[in-house]
Amino acid sequence: MNSDNVLERASWLLESSGDAGIITGLDGTIEYVNPAFEALTGYARQQALGRTPAILKSGQQSAEFYRALWGRLHAGQEFHGVLVNRHRDGGLFHEEKTIRPLFGPDGSVRHYMSSGRDVSLRIAAQEKLRYDATHDGLTDLPNRTLYLDRLQQALAHAARSGERLAVALIDLNGFKAINDSHGHDAGDAALHATAQRLKRCLRQSDTAARLGGDEFALLLHGADDIERVMGAVMQACGEPFGREGGERIPLSVSAGVSCCPDDGQTASALLRRADEAMYCAKRSGGDRSRWAVAQPSLDAPAAAPRLAGAPSGLELLERELPVLRRVLKAGETIYRAGDKFRDIHVLRVGICKLSGYCAEGREDLITILFKGDWLGFDGLADGRHRYTAVAADVCEVLTVSYEALLRAGARNPALLAQMHSAISRQNARERDAVLSMHALPADGRVAAFLCRWADELEQCGLRSDQITLPTTRAEIGGHIGLRLESVSRAMTNLEREQLIRFGPRSRRDIEIPNLLALRTYVNRLTEAAR
């Protein structure tokens, strides 16, 4: 088949396709577009022929992204991904695109064929879900989950750089009285007014969040500006707020501030000290806005941290809904890619693996889920699951209808808040893992993957001397982007360093004899990579 026949055959396949199709020469010049391309991009066929796909560039992808894309194509490999492209009228859209080399009879690449579809609505839905999981619906401030995530990141940065930071907890004074005297609409208006005033007092690098109820929190980078910021907060939040109809209602707040490293170097310590200081400010009495800093010792006993005590997502789920409880053996399937989306599942005990097919047709490990994680949301956008969920060991899974979950959430918003928090934690965990492993050598990437998994199991209550990870070299390599040979060499090196060992029954079972030693090894490589 000569080059003309290759082009003719490919264009025939694309002509009636519902996906936007392009065929280019080796230099990227467009030689064919199908009607779906014209409809999606706004470019008529004659306007596109002879030009390059750069007419769709939005500037949202970097030069490095395109170099990697062309590197795969020049190597004869397929590319699959989501691009932000620009319509002829200037509007942006997300296109899920696959680009394949077309080979001639001699095995050489003759053309490139791409097909793509508009997934803007799906991306928007996913972004909204991610945003809703990390922001308060009433005030649009970051919620407790996002605040704690940013605080943990700030503390990690402070430990490396020596930067000082401050944490403030803020309560509205007499909030119950506002609700009782003026109605819950007035209470909502007070919360909204406080949120807007806090944002106006902060720098772009700082964070204001609503933790729940009438409690807010601040994260201030650099502790040298506390007096100015808190003075502005007290003044702004001490002004009456208005309601429709012109009514003005008095407002004031009490706040407590703690600093890192003086008052603690962990999130729990800083929040506890800020909470103590806030109650000290409240006890000073009066209706004016007041704030206090954490002291080495307080006259009154320390108040319990206000961030504790809320029921867990599992408790709320079992309390509010009829759930199906299942016990699965290792290897049993929770759902498969392509199954119709109906249910949400929560992992009550055990470990679950989520896997999907990559562009090369190989099944790769997508992520690992642990006790308390929610799964099934991969089917929300298209109505069918994109991945396959399989028990990695003995698992106990709670299953609930998604529609029933939404109805229960309407009755009890705390249930949906717990779900959003769980999803946010999972997203943050995956994001942090990708960022932390990106610059490491092969040994470090494998060690970081195993260390993260072991850390999660230890947090689930397993003793560090009992941690066994049921996984394969192929799964590890697919997840962290290494060839099988590289993973094998890395694991041999880790075994030689006595950081891992293989179980007596199978080399699929990886044991961590000393989790602290493995963490130290990963931290050392991470520092060297910076």
pLDDT digits (tens, 9 = 90+) for 454-507: 766 665 555 455 566 777 777 777 667 677 788 788 888 888 888 888 766 555
Question: What does the alpha-carbon distance between residue 235 and residue 246 come to, in Å, rounded to a whole number?
Answer: 21
Do 170 and 318 lie in a common domain?
no
Do 375 and 454 lie in a common domain?
no
- What does pTM read for this prediction? 0.48
At 347 the three-state DSSP class reads: strand
Band of pLDDT at residue 44, cut at 50, 70 and 90: very high
Q: What is the 3-state secondary structure (H, E, C) of 148-163?
A: HHHHHHHHHHHHHHCC
CATH code at 172? 3.30.70.270
Total domain count, the chain: 4
Do 135 and 102 lie in a common domain?
no
Do 324 and 421 lie in a common domain?
yes
Residue 310 pLDDT: 40
Please identify, among 430, 462, 497, the residue that sits at the C-terminal boundary of a domain.
430
Assigned token pair, 60 = 């949202």
CATH code at 96? 3.30.450.20
Does residue 415 carry a pLDDT above 80? Answer: no
Domain of 197, in residue numbers:
127-293
Do 393 and 365 lie in a common domain?
yes
Do 343 and 270 lie in a common domain?
no
Do 400 and 450 lie in a common domain?
no
Per-residue pLDDT tens over the stretch 369-391 = 877 788 888 887 778 888 899 98
Q: Is 42 inside any structural domain?
A: yes
Calculate the dihedral angle through the C-alpha atoms of 467, 470, 472, 473, rounding to the nearest 10 degrees: -10
Alpha helix ranges (H) inside 328-412: 402-411
Q: Are 34 and 48 in contact (CB under 8 A)?
A: no
Other Cβ atoms closer than 10 A to 15: 12
Per-residue pLDDT tens over the stretch 241-260 = 887 666 788 999 999 999 98
Which helix (H) or strand (E) covers residue 334, if one does? strand 333-335
Other Cβ atoms closer than 10 A to 266: 12
CATH code at 359? 2.60.120.10
Spatial strand order in the sheet of 253-260: 207-212, 215-221, 165-172, 253-260, 290-293
Do 447 and 363 lie in a common domain?
no
